[in-house]
Structure 1
Amino acid sequence: MSHTLIIHNKSPHNQEFEVHGWNNNHNIVVRSNERAKIATQDGSSGAIIAIHDSHEGEQAEITKKGFAGNDFFDISNITGAGGNMTIMHVGDPATMKGHPTFMQALNKAWQHADQRTKDGITKPLHLDSAGKIVRMDATKDNSHLETFVRTFDDQSYVGVGAWNGKAGDSRDNIQSRAAVGSKDILITYSDGDARPDPDNSAVIHTHTLVAKQQAVAVRNSHDGKKSGISLTNRSTHDETYFLYDNYWNGNGTAGANFDHPLKSIRVSAGQTVSVDLSSSFKGRVQRGSIIPATWVEFQLEATNDHKAHGDVSVEQGNDGPAIIRATDGTNTTGGFTTPVHAAESAYQIRSDGQRVIASTMGNRLGGPNQAAIESQKAIRDKVYVTGGTGVPDVASANNHLAVDFY
């Protein structure tokens, strides 16, 4: 079933938004004091991110009709801010999330901060000539900034919340609570107060497509000389692959990025392309941009041995085989090349209509699928099924890995 996502721009200027998960991942521009509508399918996930001076700011993260048939949504400032945004079920203000005057609260807190506090957060804050903060960088990149923002904002995601065995901050975790049922959703953006209007008088218009998801430059080579991956499509049809860098990285832990692809690339059947990436990249590549899906996880230069390392994981689903291998002559390989035939209860129909094996660990779409765990025991020594150890560590001294999707 389809529902409508409405974006209301209450500001006096046109506002651009990145769209992930819907609208073919095309950006939209919503004109001043108007509304745009985007169709969303139940079971789908995505994000709407405000753009400020070509930088990503506040974002609405949404899953339609997820666990128990409910919608899950929140407002996050993890990747930055430059305006105010709220989100709620249409007609139900009790479901509203997001700080409606975030930027005003940020400026007020800044004005009252002592010099030591200001010294710790000056770099990620961008001020105009009058000393007013007009844009904030990602809180995930500055622990002092995260602490500062928490002094005035408990209505949106400031950190990453509970993830990968970590308890997270309770103020973030509460943002994950469901809004009962699956309904139309209203996002309100404003430079002033982003509380929704009590009426529906604003004009609804067909949105304007302004840009595609950033495409990655490719080279038709397999030389392994630059940091990155050699990506091969071994299927019989053309495929688009998406690369995601982690929101944050810790000692053996990471904050997975579900909704903000770094790059995308379309690869013809049987073709290999070389994808150049920064040596600091830590994240994954997957088919398409939605889950459940097989993840090929990798980093290109570890801090301890300066090698690239990678593995294959079906913890967030299995939509087909994939392998990863070293290109430095060692030929170490991980992953699987034969499709898994699982019990019927292990499968789910993804938002794009594909029948795939569900997550073994659970996510915002629902909890872990026990049948998926049991059905994939045979590949446990080749891929991560439910974490643990025993999976090959594919390391490549030349900071270049080969990834094949089947």
Structure 2
Amino acid sequence: MSRNIFITNLSGHDQEFEIHGWNNNQNVVVGPHQTFTINAPDGSSGAIIALHDGHEGEQAEITKNGWGGNDFIDLSNIVGAGGNMTVQQVNNPATRKGDPLFMQHLNDAWHRADAGTRQALELCVHRDNNDNVTRIDAIKDWPALENFVRTFADGKTYIGVGAWNGSPGNANDNNQSSAAQGNTDIQVTYNDGDATPPTSQSAASMQLQSIEPVQHDVSSAQVGGPGIILRNHRPVPQTYAFYNNYWNGDGTAGANFDNPDPIITVAGTDSLFVPLPESFKGRVQRGTLLPATWAEFQIAADNDGAAHGDISLQQGCDGAATVASTDGSGRFNGFQNDIVSGAPEAAVRYKADGTRALDTTVGNWNGGPNLAAIAWENEQVGQRRAYIVGGSGTDDVASANKCLAVDFY
């Protein structure tokens, strides 16, 4: 059996992780407020290590379904630190390992330290111009650093080398290797601030967190430049309409509802590449009728030249959709589960062709906002995965190669 390891970056910047044991031992960069999913078969072991300016830092060490059918997880700082990280079984905070405010506690201890302690740590504690600690070297190489870290993090993280090569190690370190009960998904959380996993997530939203970006075969899709890889997950052909905004400026856009260009048909369970000009800023939806799920995107943003996209349910929902990068960064967002067929009737509006869909949440066509649709979509998807009521809080997906993958389910 395979389980998932979720690597969530709660910080406001890209964070690179070194992966050992999974993901073909390839590093991943997780965007701000994004989650990267790793498939972890039973019996597999490995580590997820945060990198800071190329230096290894805090690491989550994981064995899936090990001795006794239990997961074994710990959080270690023996090779360094530069951020905050925790690891736990999903929805089981009792299994949490790591200090979610390690760097804050480190800085407090540093500023309280006497002159002798600071002098002894001068070469292994790296600071900015304000004397705040930005990174520490490998604790295993600096006995004085190990003693210092134990003053604020003893029992919260692996600090020393533990029981190894005949050494009994430190009892509090050894306790970090205790088993978590049973075999389930694992949550690794990184942040510059508090790395405590969000506790307000419902079971449904945690399930949505496990979606994995579809692996797009870019060569077979014959990508020729800027554009969209469009995938139809339904078993029959589907038509998709691209709408370029009438105008854009100052963070606003003139939505185009009546002039699709192009209109593309994709065969059942197939995909194709749709070339688009770099000036394209708009959306693609299934067919031309509302209500419909929108994949909103631009091909080349003014600030970084990259493609950016998200999923929106503001003009309705006629099925799940995801948007993903194709530049190898692993960024993706959206949802894959069917939220239309089981929705309460109060949230539903039928298209002109009789297709069942969820009603608009903004009310700028065919009446006011549908409050039942808003409530249902917040419960089943959440604002982080798709725009439900606009504003903010939905994760942006960027792809430096000016090409996004959009999947309709």
| TM-score w.r.t. length of structure 1 | 0.50
Structure with higher Rg: it is 2
Instruction: Point out which structure has higher relative CO (alpha carbons under 8 A, 6+ apart).
Output: 1
Q: Normalised by the size of structure 2, how large is the TM-score?
A: 0.50
